[in-house]
Chains A and B, each alone.
Chain A
Amino acid sequence: MKTRILLPLAGVALLILSGCRTSVNTIENAQKEGQRQMISDSRVITDGSLARKVSFVGVNQTMTPGGLLKIQIELLNRKHSLQRFSYQFQWFDASGMQLTTVASPTIPDQIEGGESKFISSVAPTPACKDFRVKFIEN
Chain B
Amino acid sequence: MKKTALLSILAAAIPFVVGGCASAHYVETGGRESVVTVGQINIQDYIQAANAATSDLLASGALDKVATPPAVLAISRIVNNTGQQIDTDLLTKKIRIALLNSGKAQTTTTLGLGGTAEDPMAKGLQQENEFANDQKTTRKPDFTLSGKIIQTLASSGSTHQSTYSFQLSLTDAKTGLAVWEGEKEITKQGTRPSVGF
B104 interfacial contact with A, CB 8 Å: yes
Which secondary structure dominates chain A's binding surface? Answer: loop
Pair B55/A105 contact, Cβ less than 8 Å: no
Instruction: Please report the total number of A residues contacting B with Cβ < 8 Å.
Output: 21
Instruction: Please report the total number of B residues contacting A with Cβ < 8 Å.
Output: 25
One of A18-26, A30-38, A74-82, A119-127 contacting the partner: A119-127
Contacts of B56 in A (CB 8 A): 122
A101 interfacial contact with B, CB 8 Å: yes
Contacts A101-B101, A105-B44: A124 and B30 contacting too (C-beta < 8 A)?
no
Which secondary structure dominates chain B's binding surface? Answer: helix
The distance in angstroms between the C-alpha atoms of A76 and B78, with both chains bound, is 38
Task: Choose from A65, A70, A103 the contact partner of B47 (Cβ within 8 Å).
Answer: A103
A3 interfacial contact with B, CB 8 Å: no
A64 interfacial contact with B, CB 8 Å: yes
Pair B54/A124 contact, Cβ less than 8 Å: yes
B64 interfacial contact with A, CB 8 Å: yes
6 smallest beta-carbon distances between A and B, as pairs: A65-B61, A122-B55, A105-B47, A66-B64, A122-B59, A64-B59
